[in-house]
Chains A and B, each alone.
Chain A
Amino acid sequence: MNHFMVFTVVIPMLTAMVCLLFGRDNLAIKRGVGLAGVLATLGAALYMFGVAFDGAMVVYSMGGWQAPFGIVFVLDRLSGSMVLLTNVLALFAYLYAINGSDKGPYFHFLFLMQITGVNGAFLTGDMFNLFVFFEIMLLTAYVLAIYGSGAERVKYGTRYVFLNMIGSAIFLIAVGVLYGVTGTLNMADMAVKAAAVGSQDAMLLRSGSYLLVTVFAIKAALFPLYFWLPGTYSVAAAPVAAIFAIMTKVGVYAILRSTTLIWGADAGFVTGLVVPYLLPLALVTLALGVVGALAATRLRALIAYLIIASVGTILTGIGLYTADGISGALFYMAHSTLISAGMFLIADLVREQRGAAFGDRLDHGPAVRQPVLIGMLFFIGAIVMAGLPPVTGFIGKVLILEAAIDSSWTMWLWSVFLAASFFTLMAVSRAGTVLFWKSQGEPSEDAPDVGLRLIPIAGVFSCVLAMTIFAGPIVAFTDATAAQLLDKTQYITAVLGGAR
């Protein structure tokens, strides 16, 4: 059996429980256990990525119950690479956290459970199990979002919690409708059954599908459902905001997976259900994200809006619904997840060294105590985030722009993309100028040093650098991933075998 499939879920869950045993004390032990857990999960994720790299599809049936009756985990190129991305990001966020941002009794437990939920959501091949992993992910996210307390965090956290609780209710209704119509919860089986639904149930199937995509759009922060994001992300603690960078991508993943599998080609009454709406909505998301970034008054709010813009970029690529478009979107997804997490960490350094009065407000405040170091980090991060050549953001955007040449949306897509890139550059340069050049007043001497927290940020940068240098092989891989996604029979055969 392929028991390695459950390791990326079981290892963080078990280490989380171990951390829970140590309660309020023993910070050093919890850090050690947590770090071991994060590293072991990353190892498992690397192994899984290696297995999936050549295009193998591995299906793991929980407790030996065969699909479509039992719950399955499905490893393919997409889920393998998403799990790897999650755990690389988790390592960086965790390394940052254990250098002083992990005060409080349950941080390590919550952080590891968050990874559990995200990994599970990427791997599962069952609709209801997806719901359960979403809930694990969300419940820990609720607590992490208000971790450390404070009026701002509780205020935005409350909205985040209530909105997502409504989202969960809609998710259950959607799953209920789809189960009522297709009689299955297994995604592969649902794809087969949905394609064969008769006209008497077509409207029910379509409304269930629309409800489901609405829920995924809330998670992905797609226009018009992104208003929860800037507040929540911009006030969360730095390592939490960094790990939240993957959370919107879970929504994007769910949209991509269900769009290619259930609402893809030859799907009867739900053929191409979402695709016509995805592209325009994604372009609006991109445009509004950049407008928000221009108007942001705090550095972390600016980054949060750029996350929304990046979701718009990714979903534009998916909305093109060609192999090239999806491939470019996947490349951009890895890039934007890493760099937005890195930027949240840098913003935290800025906030800390400017002192409590100014924090990360984009205002003429005191200088940071280590202007050269933090300024350089910000400068590199901003270049990557804005997508200047020759780094990853630029490559990702070019891939999507190229993919759009034959599309009927070319004019809109090109103009929105290019304008958005320009205004993103403007927004980050304005922030950099205000923070590092137009500072007034002496830096406070007692501000904490960057110290070891440089390591995770350097880690993010080296990943981006590696993605730039090895862009050729990586794009070959994302091309193969897109091809695998668009051929849904491969997934269905892997899960259901010849039995269908």
Chain B
Amino acid sequence: MINYQILLASSIGVLVAAGIYLMLRARTFPVVLGLAMLGYAVNLFLFGMGRLEIGTPPIIQDGVTSYVDPLPQALVLTAIVIGFGMTAFAVTLAVKGFVISGNDHIDGEIPRTESGGDTE
């Protein structure tokens, strides 16, 4: 049980960290990836907010006394669907931005002083 908690908490942490790092890249593809990672982290977090239980069903069954909260699972399902749509749109927009401006910077233009290894 404790291992499960550590696993969930650290995977949320790693996903958020990776997501934020990628979102700070200021180029559309890494930002979309970062948003997707943040989305995964948020879904896991929502799931964890229903408390962690192992081997307990969310739906009433005969002969079962202990249940897990089904609501966060429903929320995660909704959030996954919405996140999916949003990511699809963001990818389309990123491609459109690349076609129109000729580069993949968020601002639509290549910064004048390139720093941080972000050279063309």
Taking beta carbons and an 8 Å cutoff, which residues of A are in contact with B? 128, 132, 135, 139, 142-143, 146, 149, 151, 154-155, 157-159, 161-162, 165-166, 168-169, 172-173, 175-177, 179-180, 185
Contact = CB atoms under 8 A, between A and B. Distances in A.
Nearest to A153: B100
A176 B108 contact: no
B71 A185 contact: yes
Given A135-B82, A173-B42, A151 B106 contact: no
A159 B42 CA distance: 21
Interface stretch (B2-10, B60-68, B89-97, B110-118): B89-97
Interface string B66-94: 00000110010011001001100110011
Ranked nearest first, the 8 interchain pairs of A and B with the lowest CB-CB distance are A180-B49, A155-B108, A176-B49, A176-B46, A172-B42, A169-B38, A154-B97, A169-B42
B93 A154 contact: yes
A168 B101 CA distance: 27
Given A158-B106, A158-B108, A169-B42, A139 B93 contact: no
Contact of A179 (B42, B72, B94): B72
Given A139-B86, A158-B93, A165 B72 contact: no
Given A158-B28, A172-B79, A176-B45, 19 more contacts: A139-B86, A151-B108, A154-B108, A155-B97, A157-B93, A158-B106, A159-B107, A161-B90, A165-B35, A165-B86, A166-B38, A168-B86, A169-B42, A172-B45, A176-B42, A176-B46, A176-B72, A179-B49, A180-B50
Interface in B11-51: 23, 28, 31, 35, 38-39, 42, 45-46, 48-50
29 contacts: A128-B75, A132-B78, A139-B85, A142-B89, A143-B89, A151-B100, A151-B101, A155-B101, A158-B93, A158-B106, A158-B108, A159-B106, A161-B93, A162-B90, A166-B38, A169-B35, A169-B38, A169-B39, A169-B42, A172-B42, A176-B45, A176-B72, A176-B75, A177-B49, A179-B46, A179-B49, A179-B71, A179-B72, A185-B71
Interface string B97-109: 1001100001110
Q: Which secondary structure characterizes the binding site on chain A?
A: helix
A115 B23 CA distance: 31
Contacts of B48: 176
A437 B18 CA distance: 55
Given A146-B93, A154-B108, A158-B93, A132 B23 contact: no
A162 B35 CA distance: 8
Contacts of B50: 180
Q: Which secondary structure characterizes the binding site on chain B?
A: helix
A364 to B, nearest CB: 28
A164 to B, nearest CB: 9
B85 A165 contact: no
Nearest to A136: B82
B100 A154 contact: yes
A132 B74 CA distance: 13
A411 to B, nearest CB: 40
Contacts, number: 82
Contacts of B42: 169, 172-173, 176
Contacts of A185: 71
A139 B82 CA distance: 9
Nearest to A181: B49
B97 A158 contact: yes
B69 to A, nearest CB: 8
A415 to B, nearest CB: 36
B116 to A, nearest CB: 19
Contacts of B107: 155, 159
- Among B71, B85, B93, B107, max chain A CB count under 10 A is at B93
A168 B38 CA distance: 10
B71 to A, nearest CB: 7
A146 B90 CA distance: 12
B21 to A, nearest CB: 14
A179 B96 CA distance: 38
Contacts of B108: 151, 154-155, 158
Contacts of B71: 179, 185
Given A132-B78, A151-B101, A161 B38 contact: no
B35 A166 contact: yes
Nearest to A150: B100
A161 B75 CA distance: 22
A159 B107 CA distance: 8
Contact of B78 (A128, A139, A155, A177): A128
A154 B48 CA distance: 37
A270 to B, nearest CB: 18
A135 B107 CA distance: 24
A410 to B, nearest CB: 42
Contacts of A159: 106-107
Contacts of A180: 49-50
Contacts of B100: 149, 151, 154
A180 B94 CA distance: 35
A176 B108 CA distance: 35
A149 B94 CA distance: 13
Contacts of A154: 93, 96-97, 100-101, 108
Contacts of A168: 82, 86
Contacts of B35: 162, 165-166, 169
Contacts of A139: 85-86, 89
Contacts of B86: 135, 139, 165, 168
A66 to B, nearest CB: 15
Given A139-B86, A146-B93, A162 B106 contact: yes
